[in-house]
Amino acid sequence: MVEFLSVQSMYETFLVCNRKVSSEKEEERMNQMTKLLIASAVIALIASVLVTPLITKKREDGQSKKVIGYFFIGVFVLGFLATGITLYVTKIDVNWLVFWPAIILLTLVGALLASGIERKIKGVLFLASLGVAVYVLSAPLWNANEKFKSSEMKEEVEIKPFDETQTPASVPPKFARNKMKKAFGQVPNTSYYELGRLQIQKVKGEYVYIAPVEFSGFFKWMNGGTTPGYFIMSATDSADNPKFIKEEMKYVPSAYLNANLERHIRLQHPFLIFYGDVQLEVDDEGKPYYIRSYGEFISARNGFDVKGIVLVDALTGKSEVIKLDQIPEFIDGAVSPETVSLQNSYFGNYVHGFWNSMFGKKDVKIPSDEGTESNVSPIFDEKGDMYYFTDFTSPKEGVDSMLGYSLTNARTGDATYYTGNQDSSYMDSQGNLQIIEKKFIEKKWNGEMPVLYNFYGEASWLTAVLDSNGFLQNYFIVSAANPEISVYATTPKEALKLYKTALSRGGNTVDGSSSAEEKQISGKVLRVYKERLGDFTTVSFLLNNGENYLVSAETEPLAIYLQEGDEVILTYGDTGEQFLPVRSLIIRGLQ
């Protein structure tokens, strides 16, 4: 009897909790629709007042007021329906300037239908609405200086040298996407879904690609209701295989009606100004969230300046407005790539205003369109912070030299413009891609995701090379200042090793990593390995201190005579690599 009462009690508790959850969801839906209905009613009321002739002369039949009343109600109903449907379908913000075309039409109709003093008042409103239209449409002509000011970047010469102990996030998104598609069999009810937008981020200290599973159509959404999860794959190891993570998501971009993510966000935040697509972010526990950047117009309804994000729980739909200086730690891309691309355009084009961008083009810099996400490429620094990379080139046709490049912090929006060494002319990303195309013209391979790094003190392009089917073939590194110096290998680490030797052959100074300290040591050689690379021999050897060293015969010609048992004195860069670069070598008894 006691057990029965206990089970009954648990069942009743479950029912209460279930009703509570259902009640909360129903209340949330009602709140969303209430905001939409109130906005539609207010706009419809304004439309009724503008169109309806409210002041008329009495007629002998006494029906004038009744006709006006019916007319007013009719306009209100039509306006209410038209506004509600428009806002719901388009998901546009509810700010009054968005309705300026409708205001012109309504005030014109109202002025034509009115008479006497009312016609004069509505005529003035019509002229004022035309003034508003001029203000909105002409904004790009006079707010260019404000746009440039909102996108100003601090200037530096070069980025810090890359730390060779790290592996860059160099797996191209096209290749990662292909591997995820091949692994789609891991998804339950596969026919219901398709792969969503790829997003790079840091999860548990690892750089990974994530891509949500999306509905493949309306009827699939009707049957499925929720998506089953997302894929995750390493962004640094091309041999890694995608893993499907089961995490139910209800509010996604491919859902319909109130479950559509963009509509869900708009209904909850009708007045916010958004720019860029929604992005999936996963916390360190694997829980998925969607974010979208919001901000302000520069002036009128033109331009955009980011202020924060809206964070949405992908399962419950609970949303939160968060300013940029309060972004949760797990979010890497708070500023959307579309926003960064727009800011780059402002910075490059409007340095001397709008008209200069159209005609004189003094000091104008054109941002590249070779990025992987809305013309920018996400990269990570040594601290694990994500930045968006873009290079800038001249507006003159046929010029492939780079004028500079920028890095924009994806969490804060702060940007730095790097001018590069003014004594050298740097090749831009397009020129780099052309070199790769010519290098592998017979195989029809092409480069993707070119990013400029500082390798060993040399500005260098690192680019993934894909075949015509989108499969990764190798990594190509070329000097931005000396394009004749280039190497390629199957991994970034191998390519860097070859590139170090190639720079030495080219007469360049190899600086090692950003934190490399120059040290001197003596010891006995235990193992030697010699490898022919191009025109010179690279000598790898192991000392009795347990460390490995690497030296090129081009810089130390006598290194080719090195053998086991030799006593040596050497100076090297303490880069932390498995093979430490030797800068000078003395073989006792030989020198």
Which helix (H) or strand (E) is 111 found in, with range? Answer: helix 100-113
Per-residue pLDDT, 13: 46
Closest alpha carbon to 96 in 269, 267, 262, 301: 301
Region 249-253 average pLDDT: 96
CB 173 within 8 Å of CB 199: no
In this structure, of 29-38, 374-383, 520-529, the range with the lowest mean pLDDT score is 29-38
pLDDT digits (tens, 9 = 90+) for 182-234: 999 999 999 999 999 999 999 998 999 999 999 999 999 999 999 999 999 99
Mean pLDDT for all residues in the chain: 87
| Residue in the block written with tokens 């962004």 | 235
- pLDDT at 561 > cutoff 60: yes
pLDDT digits (tens, 9 = 90+) for 338-389: 999 999 999 999 999 999 999 989 999 999 988 889 999 999 988 889 999 9
In this structure, of 187-201, 292-306, 566-580, the range with the lowest mean pLDDT score is 566-580
Region 529-556 average pLDDT: 84
- Taking the model in full, what pTM does it have? 0.81
What gap in Å lies between CA 253 and CA 259, rounded to an integer?
Answer: 9
Region 390-407 average pLDDT: 87
- pLDDT at 19 > cutoff 50: no
CB 522 within 8 Å of CB 569: yes
Read off the pLDDT band of 135 (50, 70, 90): very high
Query: Which residue would you say has higher pLDDT here, 308 or 370?
Result: 308
Q: Which residues are CB-contacts of 411 (< 8 A; sequence separation ≥ 6)? A: 324, 327, 331, 332, 333, 334, 335, 385, 386
Region 444-454 average pLDDT: 92
- pLDDT at 536 > cutoff 50: yes
Cα 402 to chain center, whole Å?
Answer: 22
Burial class (CB in 10 A: 0-12, 13-18, 19+), 374: middle
* Cβ count within 10 A of residue 395: 13
- pLDDT at 407 > cutoff 90: yes
In this structure, of 251-260, 334-343, 565-574, the range with the lowest mean pLDDT score is 565-574
Per-residue pLDDT, 484: 87
Q: Which residues are CB-contacts of 255 (< 8 A; sequence separation ≥ 6)? A: 215, 221, 261
Closest alpha carbon to 197 in 216, 210, 183: 210
In this structure, of 129-133, 135-139, 165-169, 246-250, the range with the lowest mean pLDDT score is 165-169
Region 539-565 average pLDDT: 90
Per-residue pLDDT, 27: 55
Count Cβ neighbours within 10 Å for each residue of 300-339 and write b for 16 or more, e otherwise.
Answer: bbbbbbbbbbbbbbbbebebeebebeebeebbbbbbbbbb
Which helix (H) or strand (E) is 222 found in, with range? Answer: helix 218-224
What gap in Å lies between CA 591 and CA 125, rounded to an integer?
Answer: 95
Structure tokens given for 523: 């010891």
- pLDDT at 466 > cutoff 50: yes
What gap in Å lies between CA 462 and CA 451, rounded to an integer?
Answer: 6
What gap in Å lies between CA 187 and CA 175, rounded to an integer?
Answer: 19
Q: Which residues are CB-contacts of 20 (< 8 A; sequence separation ≥ 6)? A: none
The dihedral through the CA atoms of 23, 24, 28, 34 has a sign that is: positive
Per-residue pLDDT, 60: 45
- pLDDT at 503 > cutoff 80: no
Per-residue pLDDT, 62: 54
Region 485-512 average pLDDT: 74
- pLDDT at 22 > cutoff 50: no
CB 315 within 8 Å of CB 250: yes
- pLDDT at 397 > cutoff 90: no
Domains and CATH numbers, the chain: 19-142 (no CATH), 517-587 (2.40.50.140)
Distances (CA, A) of 90 to 82, 84, 85: 12, 10, 8
pLDDT digits (tens, 9 = 90+) for 51-91: 999 876 554 455 577 888 899 999 999 999 999 999 999 99
CB 415 within 8 Å of CB 409: yes
Query: Which residue would you say has higher pLDDT here, 192 or 515?
Result: 192
Closest alpha carbon to 404 in 426, 381, 388, 375: 426
Read off the pLDDT band of 477 (50, 70, 90): very high
Read off the pLDDT band of 555 (50, 70, 90): confident
In this structure, of 41-50, 120-129, 490-499, the range with the lowest mean pLDDT score is 490-499
Per-residue pLDDT, 578: 79
Closest alpha carbon to 489 in 477, 502, 506, 471: 477
Using only the alpha carbons of the chain, give its radius of gyration.
Answer: 32
What gap in Å lies between CA 225 and CA 227, rounded to an integer?
Answer: 7
